Structure 1
């Protein structure tokens, strides 16, 4: 599936960085679970988690999209850059302050400028005095359960 470009309709939004797409011709469309590449959004139970999901829904839900698959993740989801209405969903989530650049996986360094701009403007999660990155939030919860 890597390096594939799919033409899809976004039919579901799980959270701020995961969506469901119906791709291909109507008579042979396939459902694809997609993780937005290079970003990490707050978890649903985390502060700004619902806001992040809502922002992605406003951008992509029930809209045609171009899904540029880069790889698959360990859960079998396509990891992709997704364009909805000509806007890059990963970049928009970062620009509006509802997702972080995922340092561990980022390739598009221009995302950092968008994150810096959102932070300086206090947009979204950057309005919080001490926002917690999703990977740190997940790690703390894993360690707490031990």
Structure 2
């Protein structure tokens, strides 16, 4: 049974890439420089952070920067999006940055793409404690904010 779980885990996220974070675009996108000096844009999977011109957009970016900027990171991924960005789970100093952004109220679970059910419990706890963007009376999810623009 354990072997089956390991096979499933490794087949879901088959690739790993490492590099130093050289840029934070927003609360769910960063750029790394690999050991081969190649730049790669990374989109944190299963989360959606506020847009730059949205409430908490800048704070979300700062939160990700505080954890990951100029750090050596490990990214587990399987695919790229239509813009060529790696869609991955980012680990900064051993911390899952995707979960950390949700835990700190700096991102929503991206319901449309979420597969990790633990993210919903983390978001619910941040919501209940009014952490980060959940302090706002009526926070607007980024996918709704983008649709309105």
Global fold match (TM > 0.5): yes
- Aligned residue for 1:41? 49
Which runs of structure 1 show a deviation greater than 4 angstroms over 4 or more consecutive aligned residues? Answer: none
Distance in 2 (CA, whole Å) between partners of 1:137 and 1:16 is: 15
- Superposition deviation, residue 70 in structure 1: 2.3
Q: 1:14 pairs with 21, 25, 31, which one? A: 25
User: Which residues of structure 2 form unaligned runs of 5+?
Assistant: 1-12
Q: Is the 8 A contact 1:3 1:71 kept in 2?
A: no
Q: Is the 8 A contact 1:63 1:85 kept in 2?
A: yes
Distance in 1 (CA, whole Å) between partners of 2:38 and 2:46 is: 24
- Superposition deviation, residue 37 in structure 1: 0.5
- TM alignment of 1:1-146, pairs within 5 A: 3-24=14-35, 28-141=36-149
Distance in 1 (CA, whole Å) between partners of 2:41 and 2:119 is: 23
Distance in 2 (CA, whole Å) between partners of 1:15 and 1:70 is: 22
Distance in 2 (CA, whole Å) between partners of 1:23 and 1:114 is: 31
Distance in 2 (CA, whole Å) between partners of 1:5 and 1:74 is: 19
TM-score scaled by length of structure 2: 0.89
Distance in 2 (CA, whole Å) between partners of 1:90 and 1:70 is: 15
